[in-house]
């Protein structure tokens, strides 16, 4: 039996194609289809139900020290109302999860927003490592709904449709608290946008208001095509217990000058050359689509990697992929090939950020 979000009935009523994701029965696409939903976000605005995401609060005297212990990024200079992206790691450098850390306005309090499929694992990991720290850990995932309103018109929608004038003053990766809601200027699409965390009933009301105002509902299908074009990783595909942030090219979110964090030593070793595989961008010079799991080969046919995510990019009209390849074949410009069904197609290693992002400038 799959879990459902507070908007499950709304998705069914809108005629969504539903499918299991991370233990939840989630909308993959609405009748408009993935391409129309994707374009709505790039050109105007779309709304996603992301209530499946997890919200874990850390508070108490040692909260800053503790979060810095389990998190790769450095929160010591993080101001109230600001957000950082980073990872939690195992001691061997493998990734527990990637997450956002919000420094709340209340003293000594942080919100960790984690991936839906990892909520239980993360909560246990956090509890286990909290021993000896004066902190309280509170998993509130089931009490919060979450909407992502994404696209160039998203600020206008928050101001005019949801009546949230505070949105105007939020810079990228900052947030404000309004009654029992958290409004943050964040997202997973490469566009300007907001994520609103609210209690269940409020989430349903806001969703209905947005749909009535004509905002395009968007499913997980285009969430994936959008984040992929923007070069953003998905836990399970580009980060995992076997794939460290260094392998995934996310070292900029790991602060090696911090005194310590779980996994730091292993990650340092990787950073200093001890990695066998790296995540790269690939362009296939054909309309054929490189899919997750397809082999990546040298022009001689030797397998040197595997595709982790691939699409025919909707915004760029190019066949693109993320692939984990042997480090020797990871340099930009390297000529490779992808085996698609029983044919091979030439491919070239290119930068992973395929699409030029349009985040709100501070």
* Closest separation in Å from C-beta 224 to other proteins: 8
* Closest separation in Å from C-beta 24 to other proteins: 17
Neighbour-count burial of 260, counting CB atoms closer than 10 A to its CB (0-12 exposed, 13-18 middle, 19+ buried): exposed
* Closest separation in Å from C-beta 215 to other proteins: 20
Nearer to other proteins (CB atom), residue 65 or residue 291: 291
Nearer to other proteins (CB atom), residue 158 or residue 234: 234
Please say whether the beta carbons of 231 and 359 come within 8 A: no
Residue with tokens 């990892």: 118
CA 348 to CA 283: how far, in whole Å?
A: 5
Kindly list the residues in this chain that would bind other proteins in the complex (CB under 8 A).
17, 28-29, 33-35, 38, 221, 224-225, 287-289, 291, 311-312, 314, 341
Nearer to other proteins (CB atom), residue 38 or residue 69: 38
Nearer to other proteins (CB atom), residue 62 or residue 286: 286
CA 337 to CA 284: how far, in whole Å?
A: 8
Helix axes 34-43, 220-229, angle to 10 degrees: 50
CA distances (Å), origin 74, targets 61, 70, 84, 175, 242? 18, 10, 8, 18, 23
Q: Which residues contact 212 (CB under 8 A, 6 or more apart)?
A: none
Nearer to other proteins (CB atom), residue 19 or residue 209: 19
Nearer to other proteins (CB atom), residue 272 or residue 342: 342
β-strand pairing of 277-284 with 216-218: unpaired
* Closest separation in Å from C-beta 122 to other proteins: 27
* Closest separation in Å from C-beta 287 to other proteins: 5
Residues 305-325: b if buried by 16+ CB within 10 A, e if exposed: bbbbbbbbbbbeebbbbbbbb
Nearer to other proteins (CB atom), residue 32 or residue 101: 32
* Closest separation in Å from C-beta 304 to other proteins: 23
Please say whether the beta carbons of 152 and 358 come within 8 A: yes
Please say whether the beta carbons of 277 and 333 come within 8 A: no
> How many CB atoms sit inside 10 A of residue 251's CB?
16
* Closest separation in Å from C-beta 339 to other proteins: 13
CA 12 to CA 27: how far, in whole Å?
A: 8
CA 74 to CA 64: how far, in whole Å?
A: 10
* Closest separation in Å from C-beta 343 to other proteins: 8
Nearer to other proteins (CB atom), residue 168 or residue 343: 343
């Amino acid at each position: 039996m799959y879990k459902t979000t507070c908007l499950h009935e709304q998705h069914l009523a809108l005629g969504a194609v539903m499918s299991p994701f991370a233990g939840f029965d989630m909308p993959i696409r609405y009748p408009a289809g993935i391409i129309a939903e994707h374009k709505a976000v790039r050109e105007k605005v779309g709304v996603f139900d992301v209530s499946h995401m997890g919200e874990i609060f850390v508070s108490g005297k040692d909260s800053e020290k503790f979060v810095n212990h389990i998190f790769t990024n450095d929160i010591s200079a993080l101001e109230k109302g600001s957000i950082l992206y980073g990872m939690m790691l195992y001691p061997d450098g493998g990734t527990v999860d990637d997450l956002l850390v919000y420094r709340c306005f209340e003293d000594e309090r942080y919100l960790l927003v984690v991936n839906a499929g990892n909520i239980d694992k993360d909560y246990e990991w956090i509890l286990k490592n909290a021993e000896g720290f004066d902190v309280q850990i509170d998993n509130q995932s089931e009490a919060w709904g979450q909407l992502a309103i994404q696209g160039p018109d998203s600020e206008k929608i928050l101001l005019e449709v949801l009546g949230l004038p505070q949105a105007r003053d939020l810079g990228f990766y900052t947030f404000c608290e309004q009654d029992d809601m958290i409004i943050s200027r964040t997202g997973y699409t490469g566009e300007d946008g907001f994520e609103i965390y609210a209690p269940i009933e409020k989430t349903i009301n806001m969703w209905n208001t947005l749909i009535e105002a004509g905002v395009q509902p968007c499913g997980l299908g285009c969430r994936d095509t959008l984040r992929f074009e923007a070069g953003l990783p998905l836990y399970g595909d580009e980060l995992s217990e076997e794939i460290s942030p260094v392998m995934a090219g996310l070292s900029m979110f790991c602060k090696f000058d911090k005194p310590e964090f779980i996994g730091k030593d292993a990650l340092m070793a990787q950073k200093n050359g001890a990695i066998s595989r790296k995540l790269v961008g690939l362009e296939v010079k054909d309309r054929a689509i490189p899919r997750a799991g397809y082999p990546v080969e040298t022009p001689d046919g030797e397998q040197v990697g595997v595709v982790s995510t691939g699409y025919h990019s909707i915004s760029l009209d190019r066949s693109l992929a993320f692939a984990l390849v042997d480090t020797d074949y990871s340099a930009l410009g390297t000529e490779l090939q992808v085996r698609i069904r029983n044919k091979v197609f030439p491919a070239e290693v290119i930068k992973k950020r395929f699409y030029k992002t349009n985040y709100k400038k501070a």
